[in-house]
Copies of this chain bind each other. A is one copy, B any other.
């Protein structure tokens, strides 16, 4: 027996199915389905039938059940998004992550895709991979994949289309998009060097993130260019989080030979460094120059306005969406990292050293 359905005053079922449409049109559901989906293009459906089906669907306010449709193998027209690294709530409070999401959603919208945000925290690779293969999504965007995560290969094995963001996944045969971290770190470091700084510290991001390591390597490489090496006392480990930036800066400033400039691996860290300097009574940029990375919206509004390396977060997110959509549409997408070029934005937080 069919379950009771809600009916409104007009006597039309609130939720009518294909069966209802077919019945009202006086035909079978297979035909109704093909009319509604415009399939059976060669072996046509009679004009009369077609019209009756369309009319019935309209009258009944028919809308297909996406679940049932997807279960038969149809695409869901939905992109999944999972942030690596942090708890979802934190990730979402993170301007970097949120701007990328914005780009993702924007580009997805342009191609008629919806976006499913998986809130399960990342750090459980087994769970994450399981979630993502729940078939609700045609493919997945993985943001800030920790280098030690095994989710990517696990997803690839399942044949789920994946695109990585802010991390290169080419070793898994997965396309990804990222900023050229090395180039970004280089221009930041060169800027400081050209200003005349020699005692430069780098506030590194999470060791587990490729971007953090690439930026750090390029920082060291650029120092080497002028015969400098990273001061061991400056090489404090931490994360991309503000607290870490604050405490490390406090430590750096307490050193016998404190740095005259800091290159922070992201703007959040840079902002924290500014705060720490202020608390120590150190003036930025007069006594301490600071360069960030990302150029989040707040960067230009800090006091002083932050000199930083801009990465096009919106475009990065958008491009990731596009790559994934291309993949889903069967287009050939090379499994390589699409690198966006960063740009140095010089504002008020950097100046020549005092002596």
Binary contact readout A115-153 vs B (1 if CB under 8 angstroms, 0 otherwise): 111111100000001110111100000000000000000
Is A247 positioned at the interface, with any CB of B under 8 Å from its CB? no
Q: Determine which of B102, B114, B158, B302 lies in contact with A98 in the assembled complex, contact meaning CB atoms within 8 Å.
A: B102
Is A194 positioned at the interface, with any CB of B under 8 Å from its CB? no
Binary contact readout A39-83 vs B (1 if CB under 8 angstroms, 0 otherwise): 000000000000000000000010111111011000010100000
Which residues of B have CB within 8 Å of A110? 89
For A154, the closest partner residue in chain B by CB is B61
- In the complex, A81 Cα to B236 Cα: how many Å? 42
For A12, the closest partner residue in chain B by CB is B157
- In the complex, A88 Cα to B157 Cα: how many Å? 33
For A296, the closest partner residue in chain B by CB is B297
Q: Determine which of B14, B102, B116, B121 lies in contact with A115 in the assembled complex, contact meaning CB atoms within 8 Å.
A: B116
Q: Determine which of B114, B158, B301 lies in contact with A116 in the assembled complex, contact meaning CB atoms within 8 Å.
A: B114
Give the copy number. 2
Is A346 positioned at the interface, with any CB of B under 8 Å from its CB? no
Is A93 positioned at the interface, with any CB of B under 8 Å from its CB? yes
Is A109 positioned at the interface, with any CB of B under 8 Å from its CB? yes
Which residues of B have CB within 8 Å of A119? 105, 108-109, 112-115
Binary contact readout A85-108 vs B (1 if CB under 8 angstroms, 0 otherwise): 001110011000010001001101
Is A23 positioned at the interface, with any CB of B under 8 Å from its CB? no
Q: Is the CB of B89 within 8 A of A135?
A: no
Q: Is the CB of A88 within 8 A of B67?
A: no
- In the complex, A131 Cα to B64 Cα: how many Å? 9
Is A298 positioned at the interface, with any CB of B under 8 Å from its CB? yes
Q: Is the CB of A88 within 8 A of B68?
A: no
Q: Is the CB of A14 within 8 A of B157?
A: yes
A15, A105, A298, most chain B CB atoms within 10 A:
A105
A residues contacting B by CB (< 8 A) are 6, 8, 14-15, 61, 63-68, 70-71, 76, 78, 87-89, 92-93, 98, 102, 105-106, 108-110, 112-121, 129-131, 133-136, 157-159, 297-298, 301-302
Knowing that A6-B159, A67-B70, A114-B116 are A-B contacts, what are 11 other residue pairs whose CB atoms are under 8 Å apart, sorted by A's residue number?
A15-B133, A61-B130, A67-B135, A71-B71, A76-B136, A89-B109, A92-B105, A98-B102, A108-B119, A112-B120, A116-B116
Write 11 A-B pairs (CB below 8 A) sorted by A numbering: A6-B157, A61-B130, A63-B129, A63-B130, A66-B136, A67-B70, A67-B135, A92-B102, A93-B106, A112-B119, A297-B297
